[in-house]
Structures are given as structure tokens and as C-alpha cells.
Amino acid sequence: MNAPAPKSVLESAKAVVLDPNTIDVFGRIGFYFPDKAAAFGKLMAIDGQRTPIMVSAQPEGSEFPWRLHVGLHRTMGARIEGFGIHALAVEGTPAELEQLEASENLHRRTPPPIERAKFTAATVRAAQERIAREHGDLSQQELAIKARWARVKHGEEDLEAALNAEADDTHATMAHVYGWEESVGDALGISRRTIHRDLALYRLVVEPFPRLAEPLSQHPVVGENASQLKKIAEVKDEAARRRVIEALLENPESKVEDALVAAEVAQRGPDATPAPQQKFVNQILGGWSRLSIGQKRRFLPSFVEQLTPDMKAQLRELLDEEQG
């Protein structure tokens, strides 16, 4: 017979929603990084709060009704954004509550790649805004970044060169804001190498396909596999990259290698069987080629009705590029 689970302060925990300004955050064990808190606030404002913080009730008459034990940056992020924060109110001895704070750093969850890429991008954005408040206008930086990625999209600038340039700029920005040495940035998971990796995923998968990024992060095979996601980002053509992601979402058991073939980005081996959907694609293309111009025009309204909003947006982009 298994031994009973050890007693935990979570046994009597109660879920509450608190004003973050009523929570005492002083005298805690961990370090505080303002831009990290701002990034958490931005992410929670967009995606909601996924993990509650942990607090305990203070004695009556205390300046703050609640004492924070887990979730400093989420709490401060909620303060910055001005919304309530979900919390678990726990009870325990002073030693048990102090151990709860210490264990936060030992058992911190490693975010999956797409979530981490979004967090890194939000952290960078917060750092840029902070520098802009102190030294100048952020809009010029934004325009330069947009222009760089527009050149990449139209094949006017090398993808890897753009990533290297942005990683260098970003690392310099973060080092300036935090004032850290390379070794400290590396310990925090924000070295130049990790920034390059996260920004590549953000710029090439998350930012261009916001409606697809979340479902992709939940893909059973690819969603939390950094090496598989890297193969998606390595597809240089944006339209082809979208087709690869859509092929993955259509088949939860597929790998990127399968999706590359299904999206006609890579060739299947000579002995491989055709993708199941290929015969339907061939039928559609064959039937379309047999229609007259007038028949094709009459069919267009029915064709548009079959498209999802995301597909319509993609079609507009393709038509704009064709006309441009």
C-alpha cells in the first residue's frame, strides 16, 4: 500500500480574485525585474492568467491584507495593467510559507517554445518602451523593425542576417535596461543565443499567424518540440510556412517533415504513398481547369463562402502582392 501524500499548505487553499495593490510583496526571496513584470502584465492582458499566485492572509490591522508567497512578477504585472489577479489563499506556519517561497525558484515551470517566444517578445517590447520613456521616441525603432521584416518578406534582405541584426539590437537593449553582464543574462535565459531562437520563432511563426500560433502550440507532436518548430521557421517563404502549419493542424499525428510534403514544400520519397488529401487537391485543380472563364466567374461567390476569415485574409494578402 502506498504511503499517504505529505501534508501541503495547498490542502486548505481557496481561490480568490484580489486587487494586486492589497498584496504585500516586500521582503521576498527572489529578485524583481520591472520589465519582466511588464511583460507578464501584457501577456495576461492578452491571453488571460493561466497560473494563480499564492498568498496568505495578514493579521488584522496590517497595512496589506495579503502576503505574497508565489508569483511576484505576475502580481506586479497585474498592478501595471490595472486588473485583478487570481490567487490561491493558503494557510501554514511561518516556516511552511517561507519554504513555499523558496520552492518557487526550484520548481519553476519551463514554458513551451511558443509561449516563451511570446514572453520574450513582450519582455523586449517592455524594455524598448522603458528606454523610449527615458531617451526618446519608440516609433522610429518600430518603423525600422517593420521595414526590416518587410524587406525579408519580399526577398530583399536575407532572413538569417535580419535575425542576427535584431538579436544583436535586442540583446544590447536588454543589457542596457537591466545592466547585466553576459553571464547574468544567460542565467536568466535571455542570452543572445536564446533571444535569437525566441525571436526567430516569434517573427516567423507567432507574429505572422496569430490565429494559428495558439492551436500550433497545442499540437501533440510539434507544439512543445523546439527542434520541430525550428524547422517551420526555416521555411523562408511566408505563404509556404502557413501551408505547413495548416497541414500540421489538419493532422494531429504528423511531424513537420510530413507537413512539408503535404504543403508541397518538400518532395516525398520515391516509395512513399501520396498524402491522402492530394487526390482531392488534384480533383479540384483538374475540375477548375475545365471550366470556362464565365463559369469560373459565376463560381467565385460560392468559392468565397467556403473560406474561413483567416483564409480570406490570406487571399487578400496574395491578391495585394500580385497587384503590387
Residue ranges per structural domain of the chain? 9-106, 113-262
Q: Dihedrals φ, ψ of 211, to 5°?
A: -80, -20
Secondary structure of 87-102 as H, E, C letters: EEECCCCHHHHHHHHH
The alpha-helical segments, DSSP class H, found in the chain are 34-47, 72-81, 94-106, 113-135, 139-153, 159-178, 182-187, 192-201, 210-217, 226-233, 238-250, 256-262, 278-290, 293-305, 309-323
- Give me the residue label for grid cell 531617451: 135
0.85 exceeded by pTM: no
What's 9-106's CATH class? alpha beta
Q: Largest alpha-carbon pair distance within the chain? A: 83
- The pLDDT score that the predictor gives to residue 271 is 43
Residue 191 CA to residue 188 CA, distance in Å, equals 8
pLDDT string in tens for the chain (324-residue length)? 466 555 677 778 899 999 999 999 987 767 788 878 887 888 788 778 988 999 999 999 999 999 999 999 999 999 999 999 999 999 988 888 888 877 766 556 678 899 889 888 887 777 777 777 766 665 666 777 778 878 877 777 888 888 888 888 877 777 776 655 565 556 556 778 888 889 899 999 999 999 999 999 999 999 999 999 999 999 988 999 999 999 999 999 999 999 998 888 776 554 444 555 666 777 787 788 788 888 888 888 888 888 888 788 888 877 877 665
